[in-house]
Structure 1
Amino acid sequence: MLKINYLFGCPNCGGPIDEDRLFAGIPCSKCLPGKVENLDYRVIYDLLVKNSTLKGYAEYYYENETYEEILELFKKVIKNEPWNLQKYWIKRLAKNESFSLSAPTGLGKTTTLLVYSLYFGNTSLYIVPTNSLKDQICERLKQIGAKVSCDKANDNYVNVATFNRILRHYEEYQALRPRLVIVDDSDMILKSGKTTEVIAKVLGINNEVFQDAINLVKLRKLLRFNKDDKELKDKINELEYKISSWKPLVQFLVASATLKPKGTKQQALRLLIGFEPSTIQTYLRNIADLYYPSTDLKHVIEKISDKGGLILVSKEYGKEKMKELKDLIEKLGYTASLAIAGRKFLDKFSEGKVDFLIGSASYYGVAVRGLDEPKKLKYVIFYGVPKIRLNLKDALYNPSMIVKIAEKIGIDVKDIRRKLVFLSPSEIQLLKIGLLKNEKLNGKIEEIRNYLMKLREEILNTLEDKKIERIKTESFLVAESNNKYYVYVPDAVTYIQASGRSSRIIHNGLTFGVSIVLVDDIDLLDILIQKLRKIVTSVNFINIENINMDKIRETVKKSREESAVQKKIVTKTVLLVVESPTKAKTIARLFGRPSKREVYGIPVYETIIMVNDTILIVNIIATKGHITDLTTENIGYYGVDIKDSDFIANYSPIYKCYNCGKTFTSKSDSCPYCGSIFISSTEKIIAALRKLSMEVDEVYIASDPDQEGEKIAFDVASMTSPYNRNIYRIKYHEVTRNGILEAIVNKGKIDLNLVRSQVVRRIEDRWIGFELSSALKSVFYERNHGSGRVQGPVLGWVVERTKQYKNNLGWIVNIKLGDYNIRKFFKTKEEAEKFVSNLRVKINALSEREEIQNPLPPFTTDTLLMEVFNKYGINAQITMKITQELFESGLITYHRTDSTHVSNVGVSIAKEYLESKGLKNDFIGRSWGEEGTHEAIRPTTTMDVEALIKDIEENPNKYFIRFTKYHFKIYDLIFRRFIASQMKPANIKYIKYEILINDEKIEVEIPVKVEGGFSIIYPLKVYTLSDNFTTYVGKGSTVLLLGYADVIKSMKEKEIGRPSTYAKIISTLIKHGYIVESKRRSFLIATNRGIKAYEFLSNCCSDLISENRTKSLLQKVDKIANGNVSADEVLFELHREITILSDKLVNSLKSYTNI
């Protein structure tokens, strides 16, 4: 039986352990002898103590015991079982961890912190923003039995104080040396560098360490503009090393926040505490989004006929308008208060003394961010579409703004838009500064700045000359007011934040709220709606005149009643494991604004995903690919122990050298290739996975949906099983909201057959590869030799074609007849030149016909690699890298696929796009084959390449990759091929020609015209023949060299490659120096080294590297994946074959000399 043994994974001693014990959650047989069975952690601890083998498991045990103690205290003082989310926080608190408690209001953050303050017992500090909240916290702490000191610093007490008091008496609180600091609203410490500095002192961060962190932040910013500055990098490395030795002594907890640390001191604090003191911004909402096409507030107040409202006035109207509206509301018989500064208005509203609050529609305004009254606040009314107003002249220092407005007044901006897209964030920042200060820059950025300045002047002159009153773009409006032009940008984020105040969590359910926009500009409302739908897809605005307000009012009331029958919200904590950091960031951003922390130096993103009625608090981490690989330690037969009928594959962590970049799987203090001592290991990632898995309810493993991804999932599950029993495999084929949500809903188990097939393939690759590589190294006395089963046939094709090419060299005459080319071959240059000097050409059209041609299906991996190479000359490795990035950014579906199937979602994308382009009648939906594991490669949205470029311009922080012209070329090709596959056939006209070249007659039939159908989107090549010919004489061969497309096509047709291996096989042969890529046309040419290596392999083991044998083995591996053949059976056969090979190689080495 095939089994996996990890050489490092025991949760107690860190030594070797088999997969069965890991999945049972118990230590290795050395630490805990006996049968494999599931045991409680306390039983395991007792047995380890009894056997005198207790080591690392002690930490896990004590953390669990601390968690249980806090849990029991919680139940005792709160008289309730904590929710799942509160248990998650308690687990982290039990580890003495510093972090932000990320969750929407109403999910028990304050309660958890109060209980923990009581449990902590030692001197602690609880910082709150207001006196009223201070009094509440003090009272609640006293009620649960805590020793509390309000507004006075006392040892061994829970000290509760406001920010203002801390700022005035920070020496007093610094002298306390609290071991626990809780901040209720971290925005207060992020607003200014001074408050941040005070908090740093209270946290026990000495001035030298804090200054070092400030300097590090500054130097990292400088590095963005000087990426090759070695001296700067050395200073950064020195500071990083110095700071890494500092360990925080205080546990720091943040209860709520919305701001991100932007200032230098704020970023320095974030660096030292190890997490961002800001919580997740999510879009949980149960809201009726309404509008009224006027600013008649009186009518709307009379319509809702209820109190409990927040009126937010668009900023450009100012305080006078707020006072005017206050008077209006009071005339209608309600009480109102301005919510501009301070906190008194909040107390009055809470006490029911005020019916309506009136404030500014500003994201940072106290009315938007400071109000949390789920029972009292029911209606949020926007007086005017919430917007940001900018003077046009100031706005036109922004490159993106210049381009968008220029486009709207009829200036062609395609070229400048593409140039801007290719700039890095730091270059864009430099450009903005250059525009604003009118400072000259260098090189290409100065050219762009100069052009944009001219464009800016042209825009201002055009607006003035043509008296244009308004310009509407997709993201803002330009309009004239009092002889000045302004830019109005609808503020979608403020709308979500503010309207969300009417829908909060109480009684374990989400209250129903109402948001009403009094429209002062219908165009701005339209832009706002489009912006909102990119963030909250469910937004749907209804005219208040078209709804039953009585029903709305009743729903609002009932949702706030304790006895209300409503769907209860369930919270659950999840660890989501993906492969790439880009994918981790993309997924985190899909569901709101995530918070970020680091676990053992590994970035972890925390976000909230709503699945039906369950709130998932999700931690997202990337493994960066495989976390283990077959060991190269001196164990068994190349890492595999063979015992009777068992094959035990031994796996090690993966080590990577920072200096030479090579990876290896044998434990070593230095790199075996270059000797460097700077080595990283996946052990750090594994440690982070284990730590996170202890904290959460469930683990979702979302590695790529293929054979390699399944093995990664198995390794992650193996490593985390001792710490979490709820592990699931989720698979998605596109990184979109719907793709992720569907995957979570359909969570399943790991496919063990697919895992075994990957392991067999890896063993086969190791056994054959190491045997062949050893032989090649022995013969040729060079280290960089190697081969594998699939590489052998592919090398053979390139070698044979290279030989044929060289054997048939001569001179080629290229005869260009219009855009059609004819090649004639001659042995000598003299013959070719003589032919040209006597050349006569005559063309006669013989006949013509028309043919209806259907579109090609969307791309599979092989057809994409071939088409990209044929059209653009981009090699397979680059294409795969780019498609990986496009997939991880959520732009295309999974790119390693041999399926042409298109889902219903895909068909609807094509339909919507064609309708938007006025091509509704050209749409024909096609599914292209049966549904399987994968789908064809297609776009995930209706954005064509121009729309994508605009989207990048509009949302510069949306994507986490650096786009190049190749990204756009490949995306454009994928998009157009897919859309074409959903269109009507095209009509093609062919003409048959007789071409007389001297005395030779040649007949050709070529396409000369293509009309309609899919050709509108995906044009086909047509030719125009002409008697006026040109010639070119050059060296050439009757046999063409192989290109990437030819090799990939052969691998596909002969079934010796897979979508995941096409590019890798060719790149490995290049890496070994066996083939090279020609500079001009990227043909693949065998080197002398490659030819000699192939000749040796052909002589000693031709059967082993034959196409048929390779195909047969890969088919068997597929059968293992499908459960039709056992892994043992294939490995036994393979081992026999390798034994024979080994004997052959020994004999060949004896006779193979003089090379």
Structure 2
Amino acid sequence: MKSLVIVESPSKSKTIEKYLGKDFEVVSSKGHIRDLATRGKGGLGVDVDNDFDPTYVISKDKKDVVKELKKKAEKVDAVYLATDPDREGEAISWHLADELGLDLNSKNRVVFNEITKEAVLNAFNQPRTIDMDLVKSQETRRILDRIIGFKLSKLLQSKIKSKSAGRVQSVALKLIVDREKEILAFIPEEYWTVEGIFMNQGIEIVTKADKYKGKKLEMKNEADAQKVLDNTTGPFDISKLIRKDRKKQPKMPFITSTLQQEASTRLNFNSKKTMRVAQKLYEGVDLGGETQGLITYMRTDSTRLSHVFVDAVKPYIQETFGKEYVGAYRSGKKNDNAQDAHEAIRPTSIHHTPESVKQYLSNDEYKLYRFIYYRTLASLMSSAVYDSISVTFTQNDYDFNGTGQTLKFDGYLKVYDYENSTDKLIGDLDETKQYSADKIIPEQHFTQPPARYTEARLIKELEELGIGRPSTYAMIMDTIVKRAYVTFEAQSETSRTKVFKPTDQGSLTNDKLQDHFSSIINPNYTSNMESDLDKIAEGDENNIHTLRSFVDKFYPLLDEANEKMEKIEAEKVGELCPECGGELVYRNGRYGKFIACSNYPECKYIRPLAGKERPKPEETGEMCPECGSPLVKRKSRFGTFFVGCSAYPKCKYIQPKEKKESKKESSDEQES
């Protein structure tokens, strides 16, 4: 019997075909094959009045793909659907089954969490039917996003010239705008601290004035601080000295959000890059003739590890580091919004050490794989143990507290070098003796406004609020920047840390949405909607009821906004368009303000503001080895420089920085 297997990604197909053998042909759908139509009432592709009946059309760029899949399906005895192991993958399988005329009662859905021979063969030994509850959940999400996106975007475009709105992106924008308002409204308050420095056996012990007569000490001005200085001029007694072992547990394995957060902080990868590199590690790497996925599926919100993997890692830790380094398995606290559909992001084999596969990976792939590998390994190792000391020096009822620690047992820190572990010595102290302060230093401070969101902070906030899903975070960040609602730039001239800051158009968009749709565009409503989608996936909620409840709330708000939202005309430049004679107006774009024709999209004339012209790329004096055009030095969106062809996008040549850099990564950087 000849069987056809359909996966999403072309890069997976050859690897999986090798595992399955000659009786299987593995082909790719190249992602989604169809989407909601843009016809019908309101161009939604959804009949709102008839139980939200959707109309799907094959995407233009997938017509040849579907035609070829149909031909192949007719020639085989069985068709298996092996799309990604999440709701979106389940929906893609259903779309494929529907277009190919497959029996939905047939066990033709195959799910695996890692692309290894053992995992793939096990999955094909236990196929199942398509889970229609998962499909309904994903379909409901898509319909919700279509209704909100189309209706709100049309409203905003006509009223305030904003480009789009969305169920989740608009809540992310609200968080950024609200934070900016907090910063602007912030009034700094003065406070003081007093630091006491004691010398002990040549060791400097730094302490801080913490309490007076057992109560928390507050110093709001210089006079308060001076009072502490005036009353602590003599020797101090040790009123408290506690020495104990302090354990530091390893962090849990990565889930999608924590991987994106930590990769941003530790590796300086943005979320889009993190997911792109992780996708490559998941889909498979050629390890000297054998292609294998190095990590499990990277879209997950579960910290769970399979017992098979845990049972393989424990003896590895014992043999490599010693019995005392083996830790207890912790499943972690389950998030209320977590789907727990599959495992945490982990290496597929603990024996594929980063060092052993480094030669097969690009620099970025190696960095991310090493991060994932040692985070997982560390999570199954024993805690680090510190010899912790806390001391309180007291005089005239003023307590100065200091702490110290020395690493007693490294535990998981043996392998996880992404955390700083520094000894802070105090030395041996005698509770019967008095100690004089070498220095007592008052210092003035001012309270600081809340920090703007970095990408890592925003992802963490969205996750904690239950907004969005692991697969959506990178897209949310990308969308709000592309729509010119926010900028993503260094927080200061001396800092490399990038933060989100709303543009004028972003603030206007948020304000108008909150004026008219605050009951829907808010964290609580969006989080509750995610919970409803989860219930649909579990078969505990009716999808039509969820959609009807939303529309009954949303449509009256939309009607009112159409009537009452003020229409803001674009600011006129005072010149006529040289191409069509229409009025020139100021517009906001991804790179700031520019001048455009008011007759857009009929007339596409644009020009930069005076003094805002983008500098021409600097020629290097070399010629492109692929097309012969001059090579130029360009700046990427990450602020780094690279040399590429001046004929881009016709020629996408980039001069490699190092031999390991993959061609795909190079073209991605040019496109940015």
Q: What range describes the TM-score normalised by the shorter chain of this pair?
A: 0.5 to 0.7
Instruction: Mark the CA change 1:651 to 1:815 in structure 2 (over 3 Å): closer, same or farther.
Output: farther
CA distance in 2, matches of 1:725, 1:1022: 56
Instruction: Mark the CA change 1:746 to 1:768 in structure 2 (over 3 Å): closer, same or farther.
Output: same
The Cα shift of 1:1154 comes to: 9.1
In structure 2, the partner of 1:797 is 175
In structure 2, the partner of 1:849 is 244
Alignment map for 1:411-450 (pairs within 5 Å): none
2:192 paired with 1:787? no
Instruction: Mark the CA change 1:770 to 1:720 in structure 2 (over 3 Å): closer, same or farther.
Output: same
Q: Secondary structure at the match of 2:108?
A: strand
Q: Which amino acid aligns with 1:1075?
A: V
Q: Which amino acid aligns with 1:947?
A: S
Alignment map for 1:98-113 (pairs within 5 Å): none
The Cα shift of 1:868 comes to: 1.9
Q: Secondary structure at the match of 1:766?
A: helix
Q: Which amino acid aligns with 2:348?
A: T
2:417 paired with 1:1011? no
2:363 paired with 1:943? no
Alignment map for 1:983-1062 (pairs within 5 Å): 983-992=381-390, 1003=401, 1005=403, 1008-1009=406-407, 1011-1019=409-417, 1020-1023=419-422, 1037-1062=448-473
In structure 2, the partner of 1:694 is 74
2:369 paired with 1:968? no
In structure 2, the partner of 1:900 is 303
The Cα shift of 1:1024 comes to: 5.2
Alignment map for 1:287-306 (pairs within 5 Å): none
CA distance in 1, matches of 2:371, 2:439: 34
Aligned length: 506
Is residue 629–residue 652 contact of structure 1 (8 Å, CA) maintained in 2?
yes
What do residues 871-919 of structure 1 show as CA deviations (whole Å, max 9, x unaligned)?
2232222212221211111111111111121112211332353245243
In structure 2, the partner of 1:523 is none
What do residues 170-207 of structure 1 show as CA deviations (whole Å, max 9, x unaligned)?
xxxxxxxxxxxxxxxxxxxxxxxxxxxxxxxxxxxxxx
The Cα shift of 1:651 comes to: 1.4
In structure 1, the partner of 2:519 is 1103
2:274 paired with 1:879? yes
Q: Which amino acid aligns with 2:38?
A: T
Instruction: Mark the CA change 1:914 to 1:1089 in structure 2 (over 3 Å): closer, same or farther.
Output: same
Is residue 693–residue 723 contact of structure 1 (8 Å, CA) maintained in 2?
no
Q: Secondary structure at the match of 2:2?
A: strand
CA distance in 2, matches of 1:995, 1:632: 73
Q: Which amino acid aligns with 1:1041?
A: R
2:136 paired with 1:756? yes
Q: Which amino acid aligns with 2:370?
A: D
2:541 paired with 1:1125? yes
Identity percentage over the alignment? 31
Instruction: Mark the CA change 1:1102 to 1:891 in structure 2 (over 3 Å): closer, same or farther.
Output: same
Gaps of 5+ in 2: 198-203, 209-221, 227-235, 285-292, 426-437, 491-495, 572-672
2:496 paired with 1:1116? no
| 2:264 pairs with one of 869, 890, 893 | 869
In structure 2, the partner of 1:326 is none
Instruction: Mark the CA change 1:1004 to 1:695 in structure 2 (over 3 Å): closer, same or farther.
Output: farther
Instruction: Mark the CA change 1:1133 to 1:1007 in structure 2 (over 3 Å): closer, same or farther.
Output: farther
CA distance in 2, matches of 1:891, 1:717: 30
Is residue 86–residue 341 contact of structure 2 (8 Å, CA) maintained in 1?
no
What do residues 935-964 of structure 1 show as CA deviations (whole Å, max 9, x unaligned)?
1111011222111214x2xxxxxxxxxx44
In structure 1, the partner of 2:54 is 649
Answer 1 or 2: higher relative contact order, Cα 8 Å, separation at least 6: 2
CA distance in 1, matches of 2:466, 2:303: 17
Q: Which amino acid aligns with 1:893?
A: T
TM-score in terms of structure 2 length: 0.67
CA distance in 2, matches of 1:870, 1:1028: 36
In structure 1, the partner of 2:5 is 576
Instruction: Mark the CA change 1:724 to 1:1083 in structure 2 (over 3 Å): closer, same or farther.
Output: closer
Q: Which amino acid aligns with 2:59?
A: I
Alignment map for 1:171-182 (pairs within 5 Å): none
The Cα shift of 1:635 comes to: 4.8
Q: Secondary structure at the match of 2:166?
A: coil
In structure 2, the partner of 1:20 is none
The Cα shift of 1:758 comes to: 0.8
2:620 paired with 1:620? no
What do residues 98-142 of structure 1 show as CA deviations (whole Å, max 9, x unaligned)?
xxxxxxxxxxxxxxxxxxxxxxxxxxxxxxxxxxxxxxxxxxxxx
The Cα shift of 1:992 comes to: 3.8
What do residues 716-738 of structure 1 show as CA deviations (whole Å, max 9, x unaligned)?
11111269996611000000001
CA distance in 1, matches of 2:94, 2:373: 34
The Cα shift of 1:1113 comes to: 1.4
CA distance in 1, matches of 2:165, 2:564: 16
What do residues 496-546 of structure 1 show as CA deviations (whole Å, max 9, x unaligned)?
xxxxxxxxxxxxxxxxxxxxxxxxxxxxxxxxxxxxxxxxxxxxxxxxxxx
Instruction: Mark the CA change 1:873 to 1:1008 in structure 2 (over 3 Å): closer, same or farther.
Output: farther
Between 1:919-928 and 1:619-628, the stretch displaced more is 919-928
CA distance in 1, matches of 2:254, 2:483: 30
Instruction: Mark the CA change 1:986 to 1:1128 in structure 2 (over 3 Å): closer, same or farther.
Output: same
CA distance in 2, matches of 1:584, 1:1068: 30
Gaps of 5+ in 1: 1-571, 592-607, 610-615, 656-680, 823-830, 836-842, 953-962
TM-score in terms of structure 1 length: 0.40
Instruction: Mark the CA change 1:1093 to 1:1003 in structure 2 (over 3 Å): closer, same or farther.
Output: farther
Instruction: Mark the CA change 1:892 to 1:1150 in structure 2 (over 3 Å): closer, same or farther.
Output: same
Q: Secondary structure at the match of 2:52?
A: strand
In structure 2, the partner of 1:348 is none
CA distance in 2, matches of 1:647, 1:875: 37
Q: Which amino acid aligns with 1:1129?
A: H
CA distance in 2, matches of 1:712, 1:577: 10
Alignment map for 1:642-721 (pairs within 5 Å): 642-644=48-50, 646-655=51-60, 681-721=61-101
The Cα shift of 1:852 comes to: 2.5
2:313 paired with 1:910? yes
| 1:630 pairs with one of 26, 36, 40 | 36
Is residue 798–residue 1086 contact of structure 1 (8 Å, CA) maintained in 2?
yes
CA distance in 1, matches of 2:530, 2:459: 16
CA distance in 1, matches of 2:58, 2:193: 56
2:487 paired with 1:1076? yes
Alignment map for 1:206-221 (pairs within 5 Å): none
CA distance in 1, matches of 2:497, 2:405: 25
Larger radius of gyration: 1
The Cα shift of 1:745 comes to: 0.5
What do residues 440-461 of structure 1 show as CA deviations (whole Å, max 9, x unaligned)?
xxxxxxxxxxxxxxxxxxxxxx
Alignment map for 1:513-552 (pairs within 5 Å): none
CA distance in 1, matches of 2:28, 2:207: 51
Q: Which amino acid aligns with 2:545?
A: E
Instruction: Mark the CA change 1:1073 to 1:932 in structure 2 (over 3 Å): closer, same or farther.
Output: closer
The Cα shift of 1:654 comes to: 2.3
**Structure with greater proportional helix content:** 1
Q: Secondary structure at the match of 1:1078?
A: strand
Is residue 97–residue 104 contact of structure 2 (8 Å, CA) maintained in 1?
no
The Cα shift of 1:781 comes to: 2.5
Instruction: Mark the CA change 1:909 to 1:1088 in structure 2 (over 3 Å): closer, same or farther.
Output: farther
CA distance in 2, matches of 1:626, 1:815: 62
The Cα shift of 1:811 comes to: 12
CA distance in 1, matches of 2:125, 2:528: 38
Q: Secondary structure at the match of 1:633?
A: coil
CA distance in 1, matches of 2:42, 2:470: 32
Q: Secondary structure at the match of 1:728?
A: coil
